[in-house]
Structure 1
Amino acid sequence: MITVTAIETGKARMKTAQRVGRDDRSAIGRKIDIFRDRDWVEPLPILCFLVEHPEGRFLVDTGDTWRNSVPGYLPGWNPFYRQVSIRVAPEEEVGPRLAAMGLDPARDLAAVVLTHFHHDHTGGLDHFPHTPIVGPRANYAVSTGMRGMMMGCLPQRWPVWLAPELVDMDGPAIGPFPASHPLTSDGRVALVPTPGHVAGHCSVIVRGDDRAYFLAGDATYSQENLLADRIDGVTNDAATAHETLRRIRDFAALQPTVLLPAHDPDGPRRLREGACL
C-alpha cells in the first residue's frame, strides 16, 4: 500500500504579484512588479509530504526553519527576502513534526527528495544527517554560489555534510512528461521535470492503486492557478512555465490525480478527501 501525508512546517506570506505574475511582463518586469506591490496574500502553508511505499518512507521537501527569525540568517544585501515573510516555530520544523508522528527523522526515512533547492524547501535539511538527500542535478546547478543566493537559495546555510545525490531525468516517459527518474524499483514513485518556477525544478508523481498524487513543489502555487493557467511572478521563463502547467493538466486528464503544491492551503483537504483534478 502507498500513502501520502501532508506535513505543514509554518507559514509563508508573499506579494500578490509573486503568486500570480503578468504574462505581458518580462522576467525582470515580473520581479519589479513584486517589489512595487503593496499587497500581501494571506499566510500560506509551507508543506512537505511523507510518501510511504513498501520500499520505505520518502520525504518530499523539508519545509523551512525557525532560524529565518534570527537576525542575519537571511542575507540583508538581497532585497528579495523582504518580499517574503516566513514564520516557523521551532516545534513546527519537519523534524519535530515527524517525531510527533512516531518517526525518527534521522533514521526512519529511505530518502529525502527535493523538488528544488529554494530556502523554503531545504530549511529542514539539518534533521536528516543520516538520510540520502536526492535532488535534480539541473536545479542544483543554478542553486549554488552567488547565483543561487541571488535566486532564493541559501547554500551558505546548508548543512556542512550535505552531499546530495544529484539525479537526471534518465528514466521513461510518464504520460506527457518526456522523461522521469524512478525513486522506487516499481516506478510508482518518480521525479518528473517541471521547470518554470526555476530551471531544473522537478515534481514527484506517486501512483497509488486508484489515483495518482502529483507533488508539485512550486510548479504551481495552487490548483486554482493551474486550472486558470496562471504562472507565478518568480519564473524567468514564462513559456516554459506555461508548458509545465499544460503537462500537469494533461497528466491529470489521463487518470484521477490529487494535486499537491507546496503552498496550497486547500491541498491537505483534497488529500484527505481524495479530491482529484
Structure 2
Amino acid sequence: MTHTLSKPIRFKEGDGALHGFTTGRVKVKSKFRTAQGNAFTSKINFLLDRQFTEYMPIMVWVLDHPEGVFVVDTGENAKVSNQGYFKKEGPLANYINTKSFIFDVEPEEEIGPQLKRLGYSESSIKSVVLTHLHLDHFDGLHYFETTDIVINQLEWEKPSFALPSLYPEWFSPSTVQLKEASDRHFKHSLPLVASGEIKLVHTPGHTVGHCSVLVKTADMHYLLAGDITYNQHQLQNNIYAGGHQSFRLSGSTYQAVREYASKNKLVYLPSHDNQALDRIQNDTYLTTGLR
C-alpha cells in the first residue's frame, strides 16, 4: 500500500488536488472492527476479545480547491503510546483505550510535518473539518490553534466515547447545522464551497453526528468517509463494526452510499482502509449490485 498520495483533480473553478496520507497505523480488537452481537452486546464482546486486526492506516485528507485548502481529520500523534496518556479520562476509558488499540505513530508521521512536506503551513489552511470526535481523528489538533475547525453540531453535542481531556485547551470548534438537502441520498448536508463541489454530509451510525466529506470533480466523485466502515468490503456486504453506536443508522447510511454509487462514479475512502490510496491512484470506483 502507498502511504502518501497526491492526485490532481479538476473543479469547475480550476485545478485542484486531493492529498491523502497516513498518520501512523493502529490495530484494533477484531470484534471492534467486525461486530459480534447487536449494538449493545457487540461492545461487551470486543472488550472481551483477545485477538487484534492487522495494522490499519490512520488517514488524513487534504483538499486543495480554488476557494481554499481543507484538511479532513487530523489523525494521531506520537504521544498516544506514552504510558498514562489516557489516565485523565478515568479508569474505564484508560483501560479500554490501552487494552483495545495498539498504535504505531512516529513524530514525522504527524499531520504537521506531513503538511509541511506537501508545502502547506497552518496559515494556508482555510478549515479543518472533523468527521467525528474519536481520538484518532482529532488527536493532531494541536497543530491548528489559529485555524477554523468545523464539526457537525450534533456530533459536538452528542459525541460517542469522546475523550475531552485530550482536546487542546483552546479547542472551540465552529459547530455547523446541516440543512435538509434536495439530494435524495444524503438527506442533510452543508456546502463548504460556493460551487457545492465539496459538501459535509451526514452519515450517522458510527456516531449519531458522524459526517463525511463528499467531493465532486469533473471526472470522479470521492467520499472521504471517516468511519462509516473500516473498509470497503464492510460497506458492500453490510457488515457492521462493533464500535458503531447505532446499527440501524449505519444500515441507512450504507444504503445511501451504495445508492449514490449506483448513480455516480464514487471512490469510497474510509479512514482505516489499507486499499484506500490505491483506489484513488487507480480511479477504482465503488460498484454495487444496484448499478
Short-chain TM bin = over 0.9
- Cα shift at 1:227: 0.4
Query: Contact 1:139–1:199 (CA<8 Å) still a contact in 2?
Result: yes
- Cα shift at 1:28: 2.5
Alignment match, 1:5: 19
The equivalent position to 2:30 in structure 1, one of 3, 10, 16, is: 16
Give ranges in structure 2 of 5+ residues lacking alignment: 1-14, 287-291
Q: Do residues 33 (structure 1) and 50 (structure 2) align?
A: no
CA distance in 2, matches of 1:218, 1:60: 12
* Per-residue deviation, residues 200-227 of structure 1 (Å, max 9, x unmatched): 0000000011110000000111111110
* Per-residue deviation, residues 216-261 of structure 1 (Å, max 9, x unmatched): 0001111111101111101232111111111111111111010110
Q: Do residues 241 (structure 1) and 255 (structure 2) align?
A: no
- Cα shift at 1:46: 0.1
CA distance in 2, matches of 1:185, 1:267: 28
Query: Contact 2:148–2:174 (CA<8 Å) still a contact in 1?
Result: yes
CA 1:187–1:34 in structure 2 vs 1: closer, same or farther (change >3 Å)? same
Specify the SS of the correspondent of 2:208: coil
Alignment match, 1:54: 66
- Cα shift at 1:37: 1.5
Alignment match, 2:170: 161
Q: What does residue range 1-277 of structure 1 map to in structure 2 within 5 Å?
A: 1-22=15-36, 25-75=37-87, 77=91, 78=93, 79-81=95-97, 82-104=99-121, 106-143=122-159, 151=161, 153-170=162-179, 172-277=181-286
One-letter code aligned to 1:130: T
- Cα shift at 1:142: 2.2
Query: Contact 1:197–1:218 (CA<8 Å) still a contact in 2?
Result: yes
Q: How many residues align?
A: 267
- Cα shift at 1:171: 5.4
One-letter code aligned to 1:267: A
Specify the SS of the correspondent of 2:40: helix
Specify the SS of the correspondent of 2:45: helix
Query: Contact 1:193–1:200 (CA<8 Å) still a contact in 2?
Result: yes
- Cα shift at 1:175: 4.1
- Cα shift at 1:114: 0.3
TM-score by length of 2: 0.89
- Cα shift at 1:19: 1.0
Specify the SS of the correspondent of 1:107: helix
